[in-house]
Amino acid sequence: MRVLVATLVVVALSMSLACVREGAPPVAPVDVAVADLGDAGMAALLATPSAPAADGRCTARLKPQPIKTGAGCTLDERISKGSGLLTYPCSGNGNVEAVFGEHHFQGAMSDGTLSLDLTTEIDWEDGCHWETRQAIVGELKSDGKSAKLAWSYTEGPVAGTNCYGSCEAKADIDVR
């Protein structure tokens, strides 16, 4: 019996010592292959409207078209770096938000018509302090199909003298 107990103790100790690690586990590099969706695949992904969330909010992708502005204008705009995401009330009434990167346009929607704004300030190379106002307005179709929104941009100095001339800009935004 003592031999059996001693054998069980030795086996138990061996098993518990086998689980003890010294130091951190080895770090092995992992290669991850990400398939290129291409333009058609990305368009299909962006064209998929979201189902209403539990809170009654829907989402849609925003794809800005080229910005139209005057020659020689340098804009402090926030939409041209890629697609955005629109979050809106599925009912067509309530708060709405459009996000382009880290920039958040805020606004409201009433009976499917939305209006969002973003105001920024910047110290420009002319030594003046400038304010930009960007707006997104339009009507969102209730059936979730594509629509177009209009983006507008205005700017002006709020402090300084001998400031550069102001610019304006416009663009369409596709909703998918």
Where exactly are the structural domains of the chain? 48-175
In this model, does residue 50 exceed pLDDT 80? no
Rounded-to-integer distance, Cα 132 and Cα 154, Å: 6
Q: What 3-state DSSP class applies to 42?
A: helix
pTM above 0.85?
no
Give the up-direction half-sphere exposure of residue 10: CA atoms within 13 A in the CB hemisphere. 6
The 10 Å Cβ neighbour count of residue 1 is 5
Q: Do 74 and 175 contact (CB within 8 A), yes or no? A: no
Tell me how far apart the alpha carbons of residues 157 and 165 are, in angstroms, rounded to a whole number: 9
> What confidence category does residue 68 fall into, taking pLDDT thresholds of 50, 70 and 90?
very high
Looking at residue 43, its pLDDT comes to 38
CB contact set of 114 (below 8 Å; sequence gap of 6+): 88, 96, 107, 108, 136, 137, 138, 139, 140, 149
Reported as a pLDDT band with limits 50, 70 and 90, residue 146 is low
